[in-house]
């Protein structure tokens, strides 16, 4: 049987099994397939109706079998596996781990669900709903619950009244009234009331009420005022509250144990060897850490009023040091107004050695491997500094394909020092976020050999800062970047022009700034945004001062020419979760580089490329553009290693569908191209013009993703649908698609094997 026939047989088997799922049910029973809710009030708006219908259907129990594009795949697999005869094996795994047993109609309780739906409506302010319903079972033994709902009027908040008695806690609660979530005119909502109690509790925690909890608050509703309005009263319970909940506490002494062992001895928590440093008692007899490390992290000081935000910030900063495996704290009331604070910190092993080996693949038949050894010290100079030495090496070779690339061998070494504070001359900056700011010093050397063509040596030194505003916003500023690149052409001064765009000799010197916003961090929202912006400068002040001009004897620094350019890049992404396991992901990437003064073009390491398994997946890696340029179409040859440009526009859209367990599927479309800022005779048609929007390449494809949590293996198959190098008017190539032609498949079907999502 051919592969194509096998696929058709499997698909047909799944379809037929899905249609016969009810044949496997117990006699006299049916398959529960869900519910339908009809809301019969004309006063309910279409928007309200949609939300209510979703909430009510979601509250019905039991939940029906999961579906993927209308197919109960897990139930189908459960039935295909049948009753296994062994406790282990493929059938047992398929039935019990992958499959899902049928949800029977006999498990549906109509009266219980009517009460559940009424309760849902009451919690949303519909205090007098009417819920009726029945169950319908078809001849095909499928049961659906049908509910008819009359919501009645929804009660709105008339006023929210805060405590007015003379107690201190009541006064402090009343001070939070301006920020109440219970606004006049809003519908009554139990979830909102719970959120209001938590808001008030947070506010009190920031005023020193350490022992207060949301459970001590009551929000009473008065519906007797008429006109379908409700008056809310915020009160404190009169009974069952310990007196400590009404006390405001100050911070007493703060003790820090930086070498705490989870199963240590009693003397490990002794205060005998405590050293006072800037108001904190550090108990570290072995002098493992310099005390100033904790002054960066701690937000509490002796004598200050207790504040929950300071508590959370201190804990988060200690965790973000990346030095301690476990961080916990304890508050011990010294009396009715003072809390002593204890921080117990269990460090990671100070030194570690890590070995990594991995493979890589490109969609033009290039494969390779990379290996590295790294040594890490998490407390290099007793200030929680992280020092990493790393040595790496690898190769990349091509075993097939009509574009022959040189074999590449590379090796290198780097050292990174991350210091948990800002090191700024003449300034002492602590930062105010939940995260410790870092000063980063990096140095590296890399050597690359491309067969018998090139030998590239590069040296780089950087000094900069990394800090977070919050969990979503990250900044990286490197005011000092110095890179020196020397490319040896092995005496071949007339090296083939196909490699000329990869040769750079000189210095890149200048600052970079990068900002990242990621709404997915610490969030489970339905819509998520990701934004990354980069500004990269080189030689600007130096070039302007020397009046550098690449057309007339370029200027040098330390005997080497230096690059002068401005580069900017924006990467914006949007993720929309239709429902669990179904995500619509989109990306727009725009890059612009402006070489001037001492440079005719951006250094090749700073230029943009298009095509490949994380770019345009229907085209060969790094060979799209620039503009309408295509070597094979123009000259009938395939000699370019890669083509690069000074500008880039790229857009990607992808549907990601969870099939079951670790198996996911995807469908995608990509479009984009690169361009040159100036004419280059080696790349005719490559310059950006006002007509360049007509030169976008585009592809479509499908793929499978094997998500093993610690590793996601991606297999994508793409094909071009728009080729910008063809004459205008012939660039869309839908009419040339021919899956039955082996030559067409070889030229147009591009397989991508990669690790991780492309965006």
pLDDT tens digits, residue range 540-594? Answer: 888 888 888 888 778 888 888 899 999 999 999 999 988 778 899 999 999 999 9
Q: What is each CA distance from 129 to 40, 156, 619, in whole angstroms? A: 11, 15, 59
- The H-or-E segment that residue 458 falls in is strand 454-468
Nearest alpha carbon to residue 179 among 205, 206, 149, 200? 200
If one looks up domain 611-759 in CATH, what number appears?
2.40.160.50
The SS3 call for residue 38 is strand
| Predicted local confidence at residue 428, as pLDDT | 65
| Contact predicate 668/655, CB 8 Å | yes
| Predicted local confidence at residue 138, as pLDDT | 92
Q: Which residue has the tokens 């139930």?
A: 75
pLDDT(6) > 50: no
| Predicted local confidence at residue 656, as pLDDT | 93
| Predicted local confidence at residue 498, as pLDDT | 56
Banded pLDDT at 407 (limits 50, 70, 90): confident
| Predicted local confidence at residue 497, as pLDDT | 52
| Contact predicate 485/605, CB 8 Å | yes
* Residue 202 token pair: 């947070």
Q: What is the CA radius of gyration of the chain?
A: 33
| Predicted local confidence at residue 581, as pLDDT | 82
| Contact predicate 482/463, CB 8 Å | no
If one looks up domain 250-347 in CATH, what number appears?
3.10.20.310
Bigger pLDDT: 127 or 504? 127
Please tell me whether the overall predicted TM-score, pTM, comes out greater than 0.85 for this model. Answer: no
Q: What is the mean pLDDT of residues 506-534?
A: 90
Do 156-246 and 250-347 agree at the fold level? yes
Mean pLDDT of the chain: 88
Banded pLDDT at 501 (limits 50, 70, 90): low
Q: What is the mean pLDDT of residues 4-18?
A: 46
pLDDT(361) > 80: no
Give the burial class of 12: count Cβ atoms within 10 A of its Cβ; 0-12 exposed, 13-18 middle, 19 or more buried: exposed
Domain ranges of the chain: 3-65+102-150, 156-246, 250-347, 611-759
The 10s digit of each residue's pLDDT in 310-325 is 999 999 999 999 999 9
The 10s digit of each residue's pLDDT in 262-278 is 876 655 678 888 999 98
Q: What is each CA distance from 279 to 53, 249, 252, 293, 420, in whole angstroms? A: 58, 18, 10, 13, 20
The SS3 call for residue 334 is coil
Q: What is the mean pLDDT of residues 403-419?
A: 87
| Predicted local confidence at residue 318, as pLDDT | 94
Banded pLDDT at 8 (limits 50, 70, 90): very low
- What top-level class would CATH report for the domain 3-65+102-150? alpha beta
Bigger pLDDT: 712 or 433? 712
| Predicted local confidence at residue 9, as pLDDT | 42
Q: What is the mean pLDDT of residues 340-366?
A: 86
Query: What percentage of residues in the chain have a pLDDT greater than 70?
Result: 92
The verdict on domain 156-246 having CATH code 3.10.20.310 is yes
Nearest alpha carbon to residue 294 among 464, 420, 431, 440? 420
> How distant is the alpha carbon of residue 51 from its chain centre?
28
Q: What is each CA distance from 507 to 502, 523, 635, in whole angstroms? A: 15, 42, 34
């Amino acid at each position: 049987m051919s592969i194509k026939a096998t696929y058709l047989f499997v698909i047909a088997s799944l379809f037929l099994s899905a249609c016969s799922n009810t044949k496997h049910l117990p006699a006299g029973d049916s398959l529960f397939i869900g519910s339908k809710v009809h809301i019969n009030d004309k006063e309910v708006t279409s928007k309200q109706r949609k939300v209510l219908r979703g909430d009510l259907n979601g509250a019905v129990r039991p939940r029906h079998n999961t579906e993927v594009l209308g197919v109960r795949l897990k139930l189908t697999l459960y039935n295909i596996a049948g009753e296994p005869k062994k406790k282990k094996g493929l059938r047992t795994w398929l039935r019990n781990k992958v499959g899902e047993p049928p949800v029977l109609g006999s498990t549906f309780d109509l009266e219980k669900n009517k009460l559940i739906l009424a309760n849902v409506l009451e919690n949303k302010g519909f205090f007098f709903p009417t819920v009726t319903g029945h169950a319908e079972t078809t001849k095909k033994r499928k049961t659906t619950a049908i509910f008819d709902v009359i919501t009645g009027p929804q009660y709105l908040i008339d006023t929210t009244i805060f405590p007015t008695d003379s107690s201190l806690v009541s006064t402090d609660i009343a001070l939070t009234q301006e920020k109440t979530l219970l606004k006049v005119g809003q519908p009554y909502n139990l979830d909102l009331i719970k959120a209001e109690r938590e808001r008030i509790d947070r506010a009190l925690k920031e005023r020193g009420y350490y022992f207060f909890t949301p459970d001590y608050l009551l929000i009473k509703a008065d519906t007797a005022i008429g006109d379908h309005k409700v008056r809310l009263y915020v009160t404190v319970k009169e009974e069952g509250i310990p007196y400590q909940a009404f006390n405001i506490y100050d911070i007493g002494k703060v003790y820090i144990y930086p070498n705490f062992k989870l199963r240590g001895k009693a003397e490990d928590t002794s205060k005998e060897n405590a050293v006072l440093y800037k108001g904190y008692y550090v108990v570290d007899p072995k002098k493992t850490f310099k005390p100033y490390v904790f002054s960066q992290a701690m937000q509490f000081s002796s004598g200050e009023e207790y504040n929950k935000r300071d508590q959370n910030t201190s804990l988060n900063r200690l965790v973000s040091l990346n030095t301690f495996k476990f961080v916990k704290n304890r508050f011990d009331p010294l009396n009715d107004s003072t809390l002593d604070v204890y921080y117990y910190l269990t460090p990671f092993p100070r030194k570690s050695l890590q070995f990594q080996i991995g493979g890589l693949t490109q969609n033009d038949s290039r494969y390779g491997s990379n290996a590295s050894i790294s040594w890490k010290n998490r407390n290099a100079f007793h200030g929680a500094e992280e020092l990493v030495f790393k040595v790496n090496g690898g190769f990349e070779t091509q075993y097939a394909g009509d574009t022959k690339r040189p074999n590449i061998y590379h090796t290198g070494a780097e050292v990174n020092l991350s210091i948990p504070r800002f090191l700024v001359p003449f300034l002492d900056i602590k930062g105010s976020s939940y995260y410790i700011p870092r000063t980063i010093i990096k140095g590296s050397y890399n050597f690359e050999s491309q067969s018998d063509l090139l030998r590239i040596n590069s040296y780089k030194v950087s000094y900069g800062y990394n800090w977070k505003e919050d969990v979503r916003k990250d900044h990286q500023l490197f005011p000092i970047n110095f890179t020196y690149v020397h490319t040896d052409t092995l005496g071949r001064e007339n090296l083939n022009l196909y490699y000329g765009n990869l040769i750079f000799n000189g210095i890149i010197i200048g600052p970079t700034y990068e900002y990242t916003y990621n709404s997915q961090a610490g969030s489970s929202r339905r819509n998520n945004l990701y934004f990354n912006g980069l500004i990269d400068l080189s030689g600007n002040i130096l070039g302007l001062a020397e009046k550098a001009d690449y057309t007339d004897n370029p200027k040098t620094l330390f005997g080497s020419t230096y690059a002068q350019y401005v580069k900017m890049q924006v990467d914006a992404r949007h993720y929309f979760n239709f429902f669990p396991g179904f995500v619509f992901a989109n990306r727009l990437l725009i890059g612009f580089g402006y070489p001037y003064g001492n440079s005719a073009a951006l250094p090749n390491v700073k230029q943009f490329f298009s095509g490949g398994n994380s770019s345009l997946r229907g085209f060969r890696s790094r060979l799209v553009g620039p503009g309408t340029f295509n070597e094979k179409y123009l000259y009938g040859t395939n000699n370019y290693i890669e083509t690069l440009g000074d500008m880039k526009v790229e857009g990607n859209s992808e549907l990601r569908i969870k099939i079951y367990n670790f198996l996911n599927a995807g469908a995608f479309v990509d479009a984009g191209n690169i361009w040159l800022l100036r004419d280059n005779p080696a790349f005719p048609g490559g310059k950006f013009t006002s007509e360049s929007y007509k030169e976008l390449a585009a592809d479509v494809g499908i793929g499978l993703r094997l998500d093993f949590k610690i590793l996601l293996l991606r297999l994508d198959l793409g094909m071009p649908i728009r080729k910008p190098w063809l004459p205008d008017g012939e660039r869309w190539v839908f009419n040339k698609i021919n899956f039955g032609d082996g030559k067409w498949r070889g030229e147009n079907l591009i397989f991508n094997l990669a690790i991780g999502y492309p965006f």
